[in-house]
Amino acid sequence: MPQLWALCLLLASVKALPTAQLNQSCRLTAAETATEPPCSADLNLRHIQLLKRYMRPELDACQDFYAYACGNWGSVHKTGESAMSLSGGRIDQRYVALFERLLHVPRAPEHATPLYTKLLRYYQSCRLLGKPRLRRYLEQLPHIAGNYWADLLAVLGRYGYHEHYVKIEVSQHNASQHMIVVMPHNYYLSLNLSGSIYSALRRHTHGHLPSLKQLTEQFKQLEDTLKEMAQPPKDSSDEETLSLYTLEQLQQELPALNWTHVLQRQLGHVYPGSYQLLADDLPALRQLIDYLNRADARLLQLYSWARFLQHLKQLPHNPLSNPQPSFSSSSAVGCVQHMRKTLYLAMNFAYERNYYGKQREADEQVIFGVFEELKQQFAQQLRLNVLGLNATLLDALLDKVQGLRINVGNLPRNVSDQFYVDCVQHWRVGNDFYENHLNSLLHYYDHLAELERTDDAALREVWFSFNHHGPELLDNIDATPYFYCLGSIIIMPYAYMQLPLYNSQFWPALLYGDLANTLGHEMLHSIDTYFVDYDAQGEMRDYSDQLVQNKNYLKAVNCLNDSEHVMLNERIADISGTRLALNTYMKDPSERRNNGRLYFVQFAQFFCGEEADIYHDTGSKRLNYALAQMPEFAEVFECAQGTPMNPVSRCSFW
């Protein structure tokens, strides 16, 4: 009986993914694939066998395609593992192997490059971490004469922390410009005075502190007072109040703070009175500053230190948040994950030179080719104007589509190795992790301030060719491909550029099955309900205000928005991106007939094992809902009308 059951499964698997009539055409030539023939049959057939391992072909794809395509995923991988998390884990292991090799091979050629030397020293300082000593962070801060709240706030701002009292930060404004922004603090955020933070404060002040309970109460009273001042009145308008001011105008409006001094202290530059910046909610700022100037300076100082320590602990992958025994394999991976956030550009450079660079030429030929096909199809679909948009709005959206760019690996374009040498020239690295961590933050935010005020157009063009994001960006954003609205760039991280999601030698059904759908999804984010207001240059427009006046647009939105728990912008990207990929690849009925099953099963790989987060539904819900809206899926799998994957009514968008 077990043999008969195994035979049934084998026959079901063969029927599920037939290979006899697959399109085996290739985008690459033999000259571009030095190791094996272009689009090697062995590589593709091995991958198809892997897909079969994840499937449960005995199930009905028309009832639950996720269960059909990913039903055995949990038997092969651990709970919580997805294709993207596994890919990211492989990259972490490659970094560990690189650094461990450099530690044991002192004559390795990488040692001649200062960037590698600094990365290795940082890695060693992280690996040597023992019991957390948060006080060390406070000891590294520069000495401040006096006890003025704004001076300490400016110092903490140099390390990228600006979430209490008054927020002063440099942020990207559009596709070619950063600006200084001043606003009230984020009153939604608060302090959780943990025992470890309290202990660090107590040690730093040599025991001159109230009890934990008393200090917690004092901080709570302070937060309540500040929140009342920072939050807008209940009857206030939702209209944007961010406005352009010169420094001189800001000083006149808010004279209780020396803005020239504060900006110099935080951003390292004396700005002239004519310098322009953005400010928000001046009445609230005025009230906050007046109160802070009168409040207990010692309490404000303690609160600032505590919030700063909490911020550092909460940065993604700070090893102090989950300390591991020194020299364990997990601590090595933890240090690499921390460095990938904190030293983003330097770490990407190392990965490019040691691992990815040799496949870049072939990848870019394939990916850019598919990207251009999708852009042309996207523009063609928009020109059909099924929603009946006015000509001006339609032209603006077409401009946005034509202006979309792509960056593989998220590195600056067309720069030499000297560019990276110059980037790390002023980055100081020693043997102490706490000092190294703060210096890496200081290096990043000092650079951001310099980029904001530079007049060098060529330098700006380089730095705006990728997303030089900070260490606060969460994994669920930059671990997968994403659309960066301010730069109109689709970022394809290294984690995506490997099996099981992508290989430049994939046959068309495998290549388009994931790559075209992934690119299509991110392209459609450019005009989803969240990002549509950004134009091709990253400037905010009123496109959404115009769209909500269109009854066809509202009807399409309402069709997708079928419950209060829908992640609407993601659903739009899922549905419309899937439609775009199908329109690009599956125009020929014979292509659907011979390659459709493999195409859809490959598409499912991105969703296998994916759990819900604050931005996305579960992988099963996303996959099934998107494909249920596609008649081509029902055709390929011969789904009867009325089954879950072939509903009587469907939604469409764009």
SS3 labels along 307-353:
HHHHHHHHCCCCHHHCCCCCCCHHHHHHHHHHHHHHCHHHHHHHHHH
The mean pLDDT of 378-399, rounded to a whole number, is: 95
Task: Specify whether the CB–CB gap between 636 and 597 falls below 8 A.
Answer: yes
Give CA separation, 317 vs 257, 433, 494, in Å. 36, 14, 18
Written as one letter, the residue type at 7 is: L
- pLDDT for 652: 87
**pLDDT-derived band at 3, boundaries 50, 70, 90:** very low
Residues in the chain: 654
- 405-408 and 489-492 strand pairing: parallel
Average pLDDT rounded to a whole number, residues 573-588: 93
Q: Per-residue pLDDT tens for 246-297?
A: 999 999 999 999 999 999 999 999 999 999 999 999 999 999 999 999 999 9
- Amino acid occupying residue 522: E
Q: What is the pLDDT of residues 60-85, one digit of tens each?
A: 999 999 999 999 999 999 998 999 99
d(CA 153, CA 621): 45
Segment 468-471 long-range contacts (CB within 8 Å, at least 24 positions apart): 468/344, 468/345, 469/344, 470/160, 470/444, 470/445, 471/160, 471/315, 471/316, 471/341, 471/342, 471/344, 471/440, 471/441, 471/444
pLDDT digit string, tens, across residues 491-540: 999 999 999 999 999 999 999 999 999 999 999 999 998 899 999 999 99
Tokens of 38: 């272009």
Using alpha carbons only, how large is the chain's radius of gyration in Å?
27
Q: Tokens for 652?
A: 């469409």
C-alpha to C-alpha distance for 334 and 92, rounded to whole angstroms? 9
**Bridge partners for 230 per DSSP:** none
Q: What is the DSSP letter of 31?
A: G
- Angle between helix 259-267 and 149-158 (nearest 10): 30
| pLDDT band at residue 38 using 50, 70 and 90 as cut-offs | confident
Residue 589: the pLDDT is 86
The three-class DSSP label of residue 397 is helix
CATH number of 1-76+373-408+496-654: 3.40.390.10
Reported as type and span, the H/E element at residue 398 is: helix 391-402
**Closest C-alpha to 485, from 451, 520, 535:** 535
Helix or strand holding residue 168 (H, E)? strand 166-174
CA gap 438, 443 in Å, rounded: 9
Angle at 22 between CA 375 and CA 10, to 5 degrees: 125
For 379, 396, 522, the CA distances from 525, given in Å and listed in that order, are: 14, 15, 5
User: Considering only CA atoms, which of 302, 298, 311, 295 is closest in space to residue 157?
Assistant: 311
List the structure tokens of 646: 């072939």
Q: From CA 375, how far away is CA 45, in angstroms rounded?
A: 30
Report pLDDT digits (tens) over 290-342. 999 999 999 999 999 999 999 999 999 999 987 655 545 559 999 999 999 99
User: Can you tell me which residue has the tokens 């009807």?
Assistant: 555
**Cis peptide before 210, with omega less than 30 degrees from 0?**
no
| pLDDT-derived band at 178, boundaries 50, 70, 90 | very high
Average pLDDT over residues 134-151: 93
Question: Distance of CA 208 to CAs 212, 298, 562, Å?
Answer: 12, 11, 57
Cβ neighbours for 475, distance < 8 A, ≥ 6 positions apart: 88, 316
Q: What is the mean pLDDT of residues 427-439?
A: 96
| pLDDT score, position 25 | 87
Instruction: Return the CATH fold of 145-232+240-320.
Output: Neutral endopeptidase; domain 2 (1.10.1380)
Query: In the chain, what are the domain boundaries?
Result: 1-76+373-408+496-654, 83-130+323-342, 145-232+240-320
Q: Do domains 1-76+373-408+496-654 and 145-232+240-320 have the same CATH topology?
A: no
Nearest-10 Cα torsion for 363, 523, 588, 48: 50
- Give tens-digit pLDDT for 87-99: 999 999 999 999 9
What is the share, in percent, of the chain residues with pLDDT greater than 90?
A: 79
Q: Are 213 and 202 in contact (CB under 8 A)?
A: no
